[in-house]
Structure 1
């Protein structure tokens, strides 16, 4: 009798363990698609190489940059954002529906493989500068689906690709990757377009970091002082965000290139006429999704938000939105 009971118990335990394996949530283990791995190889990259992410709010795009065999970072792929909420400008208050703008650092502990929006990673808002300025908010994410209350929402398949690329880079030895969340592509034309916006001093500060990356193709070191971001401080400098920035001498050749860019920006600003302030109903989405919404309605868009729709440029009209296209330049 004991033997029979033992066998029955063993069989039940085996069945239960088998059922548990069927219920395992393995979304976080999704592999990098073979086509994207091939694109990495063609660009001199491996899945283990470090990454950096850039978000352009106005254009509703997310870029994945990756270090190649030269040691510099190159653009791997651009993804359309299906939804972001709020308007151009930084997030300052809990509940303001603003998607944040700034420089953030994401480590493995900030990846969420069981997000209610498929997969996600936390941007880390507020960072140390934002906390010092009294800006508040929590759980600001990049995630799937097509809904936002202060987050950057992609398609489910799109966030799965980005999540897998980030996971493998972190497994490969990168301690954390930088996210540059920017209001728009940081060029002279856009600065001139938004010349009259009260956020312009803040945006000019963000542009310093974006310009440094464009010149060096290395994610800039980020410190905080003088109530702003500082990008030429020694790596890991723990400065007081509210105290004046110390005088630091950077690489003369890089400093000259950055000075030339700043001079060009200033000339554009002085010669431009401020555009009327932009009005928002609430946030925005990439043109490819707006087109689907206009032509086919919300039902069609809801079905497509589980399908990745890479694009080559912000105004691209895709004949076949399911056909992935790798991008080559962003400026």
Structure 2
């Protein structure tokens, strides 16, 4: 059955056109390209490709895993199935786990994307780059916005997946060679994490869980077939490896047409789901690492986007973007960012003036409070001195009577004698 299943996967991939081979008509990837855009893959990788039955120019696929910080390159073998050929540590990606919602939210996208020759950027200011194709049909159908989301070098990210320059040279070479071999487009699959039963159980209470469950279907199809899934969008959701019965097109916002899948795929996926459910239920009872921070939907995306707009205008903003907490409060760092515009300098001057006024007011209030406290102390001390003088002017017997009256109770003879003796000693009697 596995052989039939693999053949079904290959058929679906061909129908989807994700790895269709044809003449590459866009020559932009080679026009005026800098030298590093034409560097060849290292001999070690070329030897590994040969050992796995891969041609230098055979089709590729890229997979990204945020939590693990990995970017994988998979390449087609002579039998039509794909195998991993290289894995790279992502140097930087911005935002949190979860999809990109809006322009400026600094989220690196998650989903299934398509890269064509025109999206390759040999002259990128980030050494080398390729645009992953965000927003795709799913993103647009769900009102998500953003632009210029790349995989690039320079190890600096504001919504992209950034690699080191050496890494991007190899990744770029994989795509360049595949296009030269006739691949018209390659797939980029971007996930929050490896979609295992244990990881899905860890994030079962996350607000992005339903979105991730949808992505997992495509993830599972690739894991089972080792062929890039045919990806479509209807009813504002992803559908994978579906073949319309009457050849009707998929409309991203319209109803999904009647469709079918090869029986071998359905049987294999059903069998896999049974084992997955058992593993998922087992993972619920085990101790697992705490989930990583995730974006809290469009509300947090809009908060970060506003921070981005202010920063772009040169306004004074915290160094790091704000974060929305589960209880609805917002956390942001106190340290402010650099001033890089006339508006930023104006705001800094206003802040400095307000800070000086606040400090002066606090110092004035403190001085007034200190003066009042000193006056009260002086008043108490003056009253005490006057009282002492009054007592000193009296005879010992009068002093004894005053003390007894102030105590509220008559002194016994013994106590009176002791007090009288003490007073006589004080006044020289």
Question: Which interval holds the TM-score relative to the shorter structure?
Answer: 0.7 to 0.9
SS across alignment from 1:118 = coil
Cα deviation per residue 1:237-260 (whole Å; 9 max; x = unaligned)?
A: 741112232332211121122123
For residues 275 and 241 of structure 1, what CA distance do their matches in structure 2 show?
37
Give how far 1:158 is off.
0.5
For residues 256 and 88 of structure 1, what CA distance do their matches in structure 2 show?
32
Q: Specify the alignment match of 2:378 in structure 1.
A: none
For residues 37 and 244 of structure 1, what CA distance do their matches in structure 2 show?
46
SS across alignment from 1:208 = helix
2:292 to 266, 269, 278: 278
Q: Specify the alignment match of 1:287 in structure 2.
A: none
SS across alignment from 2:258 = coil
2:218 to 209, 215, 224: 209
2:181 to 158, 172, 178: 172
**TM-score (normalizing by structure 1):** 0.74
Structure 1 residue 260 corresponds to structure 2 residue 260: no
For residues 150 and 248 of structure 2, what CA distance do their matches in structure 1 show?
26
> Which region of structure 1 is more displaced relative to structure 2, 52-61 or 250-259?
250-259
SS across alignment from 1:97 = coil
SS across alignment from 1:203 = helix
Q: Specify the alignment match of 2:206 in structure 1.
A: 197
Q: Which consecutive unaligned segments of at least 5 residues does structure 1 have? A: 1-22, 283-331
For residues 259 and 42 of structure 2, what CA distance do their matches in structure 1 show?
44
Structure 1 residue 102 corresponds to structure 2 residue 116: no
For residues 213 and 188 of structure 1, what CA distance do their matches in structure 2 show?
16
- Between Structure 1 and Structure 2, the one with more helix by share is 2
Q: Specify the alignment match of 1:125 in structure 2.
A: 134
RMSD of the TM alignment (CA)? 2.2
Q: Specify the alignment match of 2:227 in structure 1.
A: 218
SS across alignment from 2:174 = helix
Cα deviation per residue 1:63-93 (whole Å; 9 max; x = unaligned)?
A: 0000112111011111110111111111011
1:68 to 77, 80, 102: 77
Structure 1 residue 147 corresponds to structure 2 residue 156: yes
For residues 89 and 53 of structure 1, what CA distance do their matches in structure 2 show?
19
Higher RCO (C-alpha 8 Å, min separation 6): 1
**Structure 1 segment 286-305 matched on structure 2, within 5 A:** none
For residues 62 and 24 of structure 1, what CA distance do their matches in structure 2 show?
24
**Number of matched pairs:** 260
Contact persistence 1:51–1:65 (CA under 8 A) = yes
For residues 237 and 214 of structure 1, what CA distance do their matches in structure 2 show?
28
Cα deviation per residue 1:138-184 (whole Å; 9 max; x = unaligned)?
A: 00000112211100011110010010111000110000000101111
Give how far 1:53 is off.
0.5
Contact persistence 2:33–2:122 (CA under 8 A) = no
Max Rg structure: 2
Q: Specify the alignment match of 1:90 in structure 2.
A: 99
Give how far 1:38 is off.
1.2
Q: Specify the alignment match of 2:42 in structure 1.
A: 33
Specify whether residues 24 and 170 from structure 1 end up closer, same or farther in structure 2 by C-alpha distance, changes over 3 A only: closer
1:239 to 230, 243, 250: 250
Give how far 1:44 is off.
0.8
Give how far 1:223 is off.
0.5
Q: Specify the alignment match of 2:146 in structure 1.
A: 137
Cα deviation per residue 1:227-280 (whole Å; 9 max; x = unaligned)?
A: 111112239974111223233221112112212333444444455169865337
For residues 219 and 83 of structure 1, what CA distance do their matches in structure 2 show?
26
Contact persistence 1:194–1:275 (CA under 8 A) = no
For residues 73 and 115 of structure 2, what CA distance do their matches in structure 1 show?
14
Structure 1 residue 250 corresponds to structure 2 residue 261: yes
